[in-house]
Amino acid sequence: MEQRLDYYTLIGFSPETAAPEDLDSLTLPAQGTALLLDFDGTLVDIAETPSAIKVGARERTLLNDLSKRHDNAVAIVSGRNLHEIDHYLSGFTGTISGGHGAELRHDGEHLPGIECDFEQLEHIKSAVMEFAIIDPRVIAEDKSFGIVLHYRQHPEIECKVRDFLKSLVDDDGDFELQAAKMAFEIKPKSISKAMAIERIMTFEPFRGRTVIYAGDDDTDEVAFRFVNELGGTSIKIGEGPTTARYRTASPATFKTWLRAQSRASGREA
Ligand SMILES: O=P(O)(O)OC[C@H]1O[C@H](O[C@H]2O[C@H](CO)[C@@H](O)[C@H](O)[C@H]2O)[C@H](O)[C@@H](O)[C@@H]1O
């Protein structure tokens, strides 16, 4: 029991948090709302490797239709590099935050990335790349503002990967360890998806709207808490403890719900 509470505390879940309601009970108004969406595990299914995801024309069409429905107040908030999201969602011209808030494209313009200790980051990256050569059971993902080790193919090495990455960051430095789905990442402490949302919501046409945020991972919990505090709507995709107010089973059920909202309002998505 104590171990469960420790885990919940770690991801920011409090036992007093109400269980999320079924997403099908929620109606999404187009007027006055901004739709901010995570990518992996929310818009697309989780795949065996980062590059094995399937993104089709249907996802791109859905996003463009949603943008029309919400008067362009639609954004992607991803842990991936911005240029990757841009590649997978080519044709989507809306706002994209990449690298957990480190990068931002808005109104067709790439805004300057965050400041961090790039020298230290390069040291960390070299050590991580060396680890991935010595132990090829992991997949290293080099990011503009961090680095990930994926262990999906070998779950048995989770502790080894975590302990190694943990040894590269310290309490006083600029970087920290973040757990994701079958992966650990080193990222700047100064960024989070909550920060990304806060920044996006200062821009037109997002400003003044009620934020709706959907995500699937522990890295989205900080965003759910922030959105809840703002009085917005948080949606968890998939299983697991969460502070989100609503839940749906999978990216497929989430996209079905999004399309149904558009049909109900007469604006197809
Ligand atoms: O914030 P997101 O858009 O959800 O991105 C989170 C991470 O997604 C990717 O990793 C995850 O998805 C992979 C493909 O489905 C999967 O193989 C991996 O196990 C997951 O952790 C991406 O590679 C990361 O950079 C993102 O931070």
What ipTM describes this predicted complex? Answer: 0.98
DSSP state of 111: E
CA distance 108 to 256: 28
217 as an active site residue: the answer is no
In contact, 139 and 84? CB cutoff 8 Å: no
Q: Which ligand 1 atom is nearest residue 152's CA? A: 19
At the top level of CATH, which class does the domain 118-188 belong to? Answer: alpha beta
Check whether 262 has a pLDDT greater than 70.
yes
pLDDT in tens, 129-145: 999 999 999 999 999 99
Residue ranges covered by each domain of the chain: 2-113+191-264, 118-188
**In the beta sheet, which residues pair with residue 248?**
237
Mutation test of ligand 1: which of 40, 141, 178 has the most ligand atoms closer than 8 Å to its C-beta? 40
In contact, 212 and 6? CB cutoff 8 Å: no
Does the pTM surpass 0.80? The reply is yes
For the segment(s) 2-113+191-264, the CATH number from 3.60.21.10, 3.40.50.720, 3.40.50.1000, 3.30.360.10 is: 3.40.50.1000
Full strand arrangement of the beta sheet holding 33-37: 21-22, 246-248, 233-237, 210-215, 33-37, 74-77, 95-98, 103-106, 109-111
Q: Which ligand 1 atom is nearest residue 181's CA? A: 21
CA distance 60 to 267: 16
